[in-house]
A = this chain, B = another copy of it.
Amino acid sequence: MPPTIALRDLSQHEGQEVRVRGWLYNRRSSGKLEFLILRDGTGYVQAVAFKKELPEEVFESCRRLTQESSVIVSGSVRRDDRSPWGYEIGLSDLEILHIADEYPIGPKEHGVAFLMDHRHLWLRSSMQHAVLRVRSEASLACREFLHSEGFTCVDSPILTPTSCEGTSTLFETDYFGQKAFLSQSGQLYQEATCLAFGRSYCFGPTFRAEKSKTRRHLAEFWMLEPEMAYAGLDDAIDLAERLCCAVIERVLDRNRQDFKRLERDTSLLEGVRAPFPRLTYDEALSRLRERDVEVKWGEDFGGDEETVLASLENHPIVVHRYPTSIKPFYMQPDPEDPRLALNFDVIAPEGYGEIVGGSQRIHEEPLLRERMKSHGLDESVFRWYLELRRYGTVPHAGFGLGIERLVGWFTGVPHLRETIPFPRTLNRLYP
């Protein structure tokens, strides 16, 4: 029996007999010929069945195949420069595992609700498949970059007794008779672990029960959160920029086929270099004003303002030192102007918005306590967090990177629901 190969390795088997296990992606007929486009999850190939050269029952089997039927095809690999995959297979045998029922997702346009109801099948479509392959590669690249920088992965818990970013948008559960909340961010725990490991990160699901129905909101999404002891704002910005560059380099190298299939113009991605252009919040306001976009000092930017700012450079930009009044309680104030926080966002070009948000954290107990009070937070549930400031506290900084937003930018997919395998939105908990 010829060797069973994955389609991504087709080029290594030119001229050889192989077996391919996969699913029928598409089929064309011309009387004497059947063209079977197969996918196996690692690639695609066209297998050509020539009536004259095959036993009648094999050729007839080819004609019976419906979309997504599972098959094992045997044949010889030959170069084909007209093929988008560079090779085709001259079919010599076909084994059918399952003739699929009429496939619900056809070439005709479907509504998003219909496609999302069939997300378990829609993932097989070449575009969705390509986006999630980029997600997989980018996620691993994030981890490997941080490990190469001396970070330890220290998972933050999901079930927590308290909240980090505000209490109105929490999912709650009964924890053996006690109230527990699903984590909105692992940051507070990373502030503890960076003091134990020097540099630590978590990368897991986070949850926000926001009743928003925009393309930028998911109720469940994955966030990468590195945190460094003995570090300030500039260290965090520097790390975020180098992380972005490392991940971009990796996906451009490994996901070339996926970007091609997505028809994604990668020229802007290829041009990304650290350091990124940096603007203070105040400078950003001026830049916006020059473009007749008026934002009052002390107001946060929305998606529109972010789009304008990042389009000025056609490159991701860093905006730093926002007013403390619009930011969470834990951000260190700028010693040169305490109205400002030592924080930053990385904003992607092409309208993909904020992909990273970070800051230096308050490391002195009295100020932290004061900020918690003015934010109306209950000190008792933050006891452990305050305690960190009593035992060898040091300046520390970190950020959160939303992998869905990063992947949305990389792949040119504007709606975040397509950048996660099984999206959870206001109206969707299925499949």
A-side residues, CB < 8 A to B, are: 6, 8, 21-24, 40-42, 68-70, 97-98, 100-101, 103, 118-121, 123-124, 129, 132-133, 135-136, 139-140, 143-144, 147, 150, 152-161, 171-176, 178, 180, 182, 189, 192-200, 204-205, 207, 209, 211, 219-220, 222, 229-230, 383-385, 387-388, 390-394, 420-422, 424, 426-427, 429-431
Q: Of B120, B171, B426, which contacts A388 at CB under 8 A?
A: B120
Q: Which residue of B lies closest to A139 (CB)?
A: B153
Q: Of B123, B155, B392, which contacts A192 at CB under 8 A?
A: B123
Q: Which residue of B lies closest to A395 (CB)?
A: B97
> Is A161 within 8 A of B41, CB to CB?
no
Q: Which residue of B lies closest to A192 (CB)?
A: B120
- Which chain B positions have C-beta within 8 A of A209? 176
> Is B157 within 8 A of A392, CB to CB?
no
> Is B159 within 8 A of A207, CB to CB?
yes
> Is B429 within 8 A of A155, CB to CB?
no
- Which chain B positions have C-beta within 8 A of A219? 159, 175-176
- Which chain B positions have C-beta within 8 A of A144? 140, 144
- Which chain B positions have C-beta within 8 A of A172? 173-174
Distance between Cα atoms of A207 and B174 in the complex (Å): 13
Distance between Cα atoms of A98 and B393 in the complex (Å): 6
A-B pairs with beta carbons under 8 Å apart, 15 shown: A6-B198, A24-B392, A41-B195, A41-B229, A70-B394, A101-B390, A120-B189, A120-B388, A121-B387, A123-B154, A135-B153, A136-B153, A157-B421, A160-B429, A176-B427
> Is B159 within 8 A of A132, CB to CB?
no
> Is B195 within 8 A of A124, CB to CB?
yes
A227 to chain B, nearest CB (A): 11
> Is B154 within 8 A of A132, CB to CB?
yes
Given A207-B159, A392-B23, A392-B70, CB of A426 within 8 Å of CB of B176? yes
Distance between Cα atoms of A209 and B180 in the complex (Å): 12
Distance between Cα atoms of A351 and B393 in the complex (Å): 40
> Is B211 within 8 A of A384, CB to CB?
no
Q: Of B42, B154, B194, which contacts A198 at CB under 8 A?
A: B42
Distance between Cα atoms of A429 and B180 in the complex (Å): 8
The 6 closest A-B pairs by CB, nearest first: A41-B198, A384-B431, A70-B392, A120-B192, A41-B197, A123-B196
A401 to chain B, nearest CB (A): 15
> Is B68 within 8 A of A391, CB to CB?
yes
Q: Of B123, B178, B196, B391, which contacts A193 at CB under 8 A?
A: B123
Distance between Cα atoms of A129 and B196 in the complex (Å): 7
Q: Apart from A121-B387, A124-B195, A204-B205, list 8 A-B contacts with CB within 8 A.
A: A21-B229, A41-B194, A70-B394, A120-B192, A159-B220, A172-B173, A205-B205, A385-B431
> Is B158 within 8 A of A120, CB to CB?
no
Distance between Cα atoms of A97 and B390 in the complex (Å): 12
Q: Of B70, B121, B204, which contacts A204 at CB under 8 A?
A: B204
> Is B391 within 8 A of A158, CB to CB?
no
> Is A40 within 8 A of B392, CB to CB?
no
- Which chain B positions have C-beta within 8 A of A23? 195, 392
> Is A173 within 8 A of B178, CB to CB?
no
Q: Which residue of B lies closest to A157 (CB)?
A: B422
Q: Which residue of B lies closest to A122 (CB)?
A: B196
- Which chain B positions have C-beta within 8 A of A393? 70, 97-98
> Is A220 within 8 A of B132, CB to CB?
no
- Which chain B positions have C-beta within 8 A of A387? 120-121
Q: Which residue of B lies closest to A421 (CB)?
A: B154
Q: Of B22, B154, B171, B427, which contacts A173 at CB under 8 A?
A: B171
Q: Which residue of B lies closest to A183 (CB)?
A: B205
- Which chain B positions have C-beta within 8 A of A427? 176
Distance between Cα atoms of A174 and B97 in the complex (Å): 42
- Which chain B positions have C-beta within 8 A of A205? 155, 158, 204-205
Given A136-B154, A421-B157, CB of A100 within 8 Å of CB of B392? yes
